[in-house]
Amino acid sequence: MSPVDGTPRRRRLRDRVPVRLRHHWKPAGALCAGLAVMLYAFGDARISPYVTSSSRVEADTITEDVGGPVGLYDTSVRHSVQLEYKQTDFDKMMKEFKKDGTKDSIPADLTIDGVYLTDVGIRLKGNSTLMSLRGNNRGSGGGMPAGGAGRRGGQGDGRMPGGGDAPGGAQPPGAPADGGEATGGGQAAGGGEAAGDGGAAAGGRGGGGGMTQYNLSADKPEELPWLIKIDEYVEGRAYQGEREISLRPGSNSQVPLNEALALSLIDGTGEPAERYSLSTLKVNNRPTAVRLMVENPDTEYAEAVEGESVVYKARAGGTFDYQGDDPSKYETSFRQLNKVGSQDLEPVMKLTKWVEKASDKEFAADLDEYVDVDSFAHYVAAQNLLMNFDDMAGPGKNYLLGYDLNSKKFSVLGWDYNLTFSGDATAGPDDRMSMGGGMPEGLPEGMPELPEGAEMPDFGDMPDAPGGDAGKGGGGGGGMRSGHALKERFLKLDAFDAVYKKAYQDLYEKFYASGKATKTLDDLAEQATRAGVPAKDIESAVGTLRTTVTQRTTALAKNKEVTG
């Protein structure tokens, strides 16, 4: 109260501040002053997220691992997969995909080899293979002719040519195109001689055909390429240690036995290979179709890589270029598959920087400080021997980088082999695998997934990649960048000739001279028969692959660089 008139006296400002804060005003004031200085000095600076932890533990662990009566990828038994979902969910998914290309998951019930799992996630998987579902004729079906071989050296894998007609009609994987004609009728792109150093176009010197053209329809979901995600709606769940299963494009007579053959040959060489099996697929009340079921490169695949490794998956629209020291710049080029939160992209950043800035002398002398050279030589040799143009240097950027936390060195891992055994069966170790003639617009199926929601880029007006004639295909018009500096520099420099040729000779013996490729085809024919593929279709598909394997074996046996 006021001593004069009895009215209440107003509290002083200091009395309105809590007592505890009044007692500790100095530290609080210092903190506010420090924040003000930092805001003034660094207010426009970018904060980049670096991981400093040295932990090697994978945080995203499996908490419920469902078992099964037979191994998921046991190729000696018959497998069955059944998917059941609400038609309204499927219709909504297809509507959104047709509208903007998004590939969202929908819930489904899965029965796999008799084991029932509720609420798995399924979504469409692929790029240009799915374009026909959007009513888009640009590259629909993913038709792509195979090509010949260009000489080793220069910037190597160069650009993919534009122009030319895509192959017509559907054809089984590896089906040859006679005299430039596509199996399903229609003119093979480019025709005649392919680009490079006299390589043959599709159907030239013994090459198996190109990429199969799939006539996909929402009315036939049993033929669509699917990614099954076991843990999409049930966190921590897996089936036999797998959280993702890929059902590859191609069904019944078009099952990609060429991919199965490639995976079988790689298995046993010491290099990682995805596991696979043939399975029947039934979707709701639709007819049954035979599909190739393949292990999808995910966290578990990465954790299975020998040693303590962090694995990075290259993205289709990405680049291997050095992009500075901001990790966020690399997220559109690489996706980290495992040890997220305990490791980061810094090793990849350092590798791209070194590859870009090292002189040829430095590259030859110091590559083994960054890369497991022996393993890399085997990877590069295998891609040539398997006639795979769509590897780390191809348009799909189909590769993984494995970084060993102990040796501090990278290895390159392959995946997605649906374009193997295409092109020139006579190509030697110094020839590059390439696609002859033109290509339809759009991305080949072999490409890794685009980021969810991303639109298909238009490659028609992209500039040529460097490298001169050795890196260019026939046909005019725009093109699409391919090539990879690490692979190209490795092949260009004489310093690595010995290790590369040694790896090539070793794998030639394992793949072809030993007869393994031929024996594997016999086994694949049995698997296809067990799965229910008609005998005449097996005879056609396996027969075509057998012709290619025979031509490849014969040609390599005459090459003294290969036989020694």
Averaged pLDDT of the chain = 77
Quick: pLDDT tens for 89-112. Answer: 999 999 999 998 899 999 999 999
What is the amino acid identity at position 60?
Answer: D
Residues 6 or more apart in contact with residue 362 via CB below 8 angstroms: none
Average pLDDT over residues 447-462: 38
The model's pTM: 0.75
Span 141-158, average pLDDT: 40
Please give the C-alpha separations between residue 509 and each of 22, 269, 563, in angstroms, as whole numbers. Answer: 83, 11, 9
CA distance 549 to 521: 9
- Closest of 435, 431, 376, 421 to residue 511, by C-alpha: 421
What percent helix, strand, coil does the chain show, rounded to 5? 35, 20, 50
Instruction: Out of 79-88, 240-249, 425-434, pick the least confident.
Output: 425-434
pLDDT surpasses 60 at 493? yes
408 with 343: CB under 8 angstroms?
A: no
For the chain, the distance separating the N- and C-terminal CA atoms, rounded to the nearest angstrom, is 109
Closest among 558, 557, 545, 548 to 173, alpha carbons compared? 545
Confidence of residue 254 (pLDDT cuts 50, 70, 90): very high
The average pLDDT across 125-138 equals 72
Per-residue pLDDT reduced to its tens digit, 194-215: 333 333 333 333 444 445 567 8
Lowest mean pLDDT, pick from 99-113, 248-262, 428-442, 448-462? 448-462
Q: Kindly tell me the burial class for residue 346, based on how many C-beta atoms sit within 10 Å of its own C-beta (0-12, 13-18, 19 or more).
A: middle
Q: Report the candidate in 447, 445, 460, 450 with the shortest Cα–Cα distance to residue 160.
A: 460
The dihedral of CA 280, 283, 287, 291: what is its sign? negative
Following DSSP, what letter does each residue of 236-256 receive, concatenated?
TEEETTBSEEEEEEEEGGG--
Q: What is the mean pLDDT of residues 517-539?
A: 96
Yes or no: say if 267 and 413 are a contact pair by the CB < 8 Å rule.
no
Instruction: Count CB neighbours of 182 within 10 A.
Output: 26
Res 165 pLDDT > 90: no
Burial of 235 (0-12, 13-18, 19+ CB in 10 A): exposed
Q: How far apart are CA 163 and CA 401, in angstroms?
A: 33
Q: How far apart are CA 56 and CA 310, in angstroms?
A: 9
Bigger pLDDT: 274 vs 12: 274
| Measured torsion, CA atoms of residues 244, 248, 253, 259, in degrees rounded to the nearest 10 | -110
pLDDT higher for 214 or 554?
A: 554
Quick: pLDDT tens for 14-52: 555 555 555 556 666 676 676 666 656 555 544 444 443
Domain chopping of the chain, boundaries: 73-563
Q: Which of 125-129, 254-258, 266-270, 525-529 has the lowest mean pLDDT?
A: 125-129
β-pair partners for 433? 149
